[in-house]
Amino acid sequence: MRNFEKPTRSIAVSRHAMAATSHPAATLTALQVMEAGGNAMDAAIAASAVQCAVEPGSTGIGGDCFALFAPEGSDRVGAYNGSGRTPAALTPGWFAERGLTEVPRTSPGAVTIPGAIDAWLQLHADHGRLPFADVIAPAIRLAEEGYAITPRVHRDWRLEETLLAADPTAARIFLPAGRAPKVGEVHRQPELAETLRGIVARGRDGFYTGPVAEDMVSYLRSLGGVHTLEDFASARGDYVTPVTTDFRGYTVHECPPNGQGIIALLILNILRRFKAEGDPQSPDRLHIEIEATRLAYAARDAWLADPDKADVPVGELLSGDLADRLAGMIDLGRALTDLPPFEMPLHRDTVYVSVVDRDRNAVSFINSVFDSFGSGLVAPRSGVVLHNRGQSFSLKPGHPNCVAPSKRPLHTIIPGMVTREGRVEMPFGVMGGYYQAMGHAHLISKVFDYGMDLQEAIDLPRLIPKPDGTRVEAEHTLPAATAAELQRRGFVLVPAEDPIGGAQAIRIDWENGTLTGGSEPRKDGVALGL
């Protein structure tokens, strides 16, 4: 039970439908779409489109999208992979010729073909109810007429002023007064509004062919990119089969690789081998979660890649033998100093939307440009912010995730879904780049191991192991005694550079016929119901 003397928020509760997003305008839009007769898929796409306007640093139509969906309360969970591929002419040699050993954020080599618009159109055509024009209309109106800047949006925007100033179009659109808009100021994106109108009128041809595609391609090629109109015209996402694991009587569903959802399942498989008792934020419990994450992330960095271009050992990653082996390495007396070798050679800004409608259609939907404002490159006529998802590639020859023509990178964004006994239980997601797999496992454990409600679990202090050694980023709200004990065991705790992650979730109470929802306090958003 929540302590009402603490400055936290109550869990949202409703009967008929609910939406949880990281921005009030997106949550309100989702509810309005459902009140107008739309279903959960319509509402999720509408909310995501609104966030492309009002949270332009976090997401955009120049990014990627993944979705999980469960129709009419069932456990028949479907998945869509809306992540884009590299241009057909991009090879490791392109980077070698420029003396690069990593993919630079602002390089055209970081820009894979955006997959979000393909995903929206395909998912709407197959699972939506309202006309697509009605679904996108709120986003067009906000982009054209303007939206008021909220606190977290301003904070993230201000941190990217130098990035935005380096690109003429980005500076013109996103630094209209030579700086990031302040809280309460009104900002507009007329180019985005016009581009969205073209997509409504022409479907995928309004983005992947014609003037918008020509704008993106010509700009990228002017910077040295190898993108072609054919790369955009041939872009397609895929319906895929979710990967799953059982956890405390529930089935957790994730999108399969190239996403890191399978790593969330591996972490849960490790946690399942430890008894959950006592304080969910005790040093022992956090020690286990940190080490489970470090071990699972080592496997991720060794093995995860585009399964169309590399052999990804899905069966081994989900096997009980691997979970047993990794769990057996965790020593509560001290931090691991050497992670195990794996048999094969050996990132941030996102929006997540959770929606359940009256018919108990459940949608878990995530859309991203990777870093805040992506690559910082903006197509000059269409106003499309181009993501930098190609930064997730390795440039190490022979690595499964090495960059290659028409290849998808390892992807950090992952929607989640929980089912139980033939029915959907909970669409959920946790934003935050490479934190997301740990965030999924952390949230699931706190809800199903410790019986916390969604808002309580989301509110907890967070930490995340750094990719090097035993360093762990920790939010300042982590109790000092806990931090001291973890450091005594060999972890090196460092202050988090940013608030860690962001979560949204909705849980269906089948017995009472009601919905409960939680929304991230580190963001501006809210969970609301009808």
Active site residues: 350
Q: Find the DSSP H helices in 159-259.
A: 161-165, 168-174, 190-202, 205-208, 210-222, 229-233
CA-to-CA distance for 428 and 441, rounded, in angstroms? 11
Nearest to 462, CA basis, from 478, 443, 486, 479 = 478
Both tokens of 200, joined, read: 């409504």
The radius of gyration of the chain from alpha carbons, rounded to an integer in Å, stands at 22
- The answer to whether residues 429 and 416 touch, using CB atoms and an 8 Å cutoff, is yes
- The answer to whether residues 128 and 120 touch, using CB atoms and an 8 Å cutoff, is no
Q: Count of CB atoms within 10 A of residue 16's CB?
A: 16
CA-to-CA distance for 119 and 302, rounded, in angstroms? 28
Q: Find the DSSP H helices in 304-388.
A: 314-317, 320-327
CA-to-CA distance for 38 and 32, rounded, in angstroms? 9
- The answer to whether residues 334 and 490 touch, using CB atoms and an 8 Å cutoff, is yes
Instruction: State the burial class of residue 369 (Cβ atoms within 10 Å of its Cβ: 0-12, 13-18, 19+).
Output: buried
CA-to-CA distance for 37 and 105, rounded, in angstroms? 42
Distances (CA, A) of 327 to 57, 269, 271, 467: 38, 9, 8, 19
Residue 49 Cα to chain centre, angstroms: 15
CA-to-CA distance for 45 and 356, rounded, in angstroms? 13
Residue 287 Cα to chain centre, angstroms: 25
Per-position DSSP letters for 409-456, written without gaps between them: PPB---EEEEEETTEEEEEEEEESGGGHHHHHHHHHHHHHTT---HHH
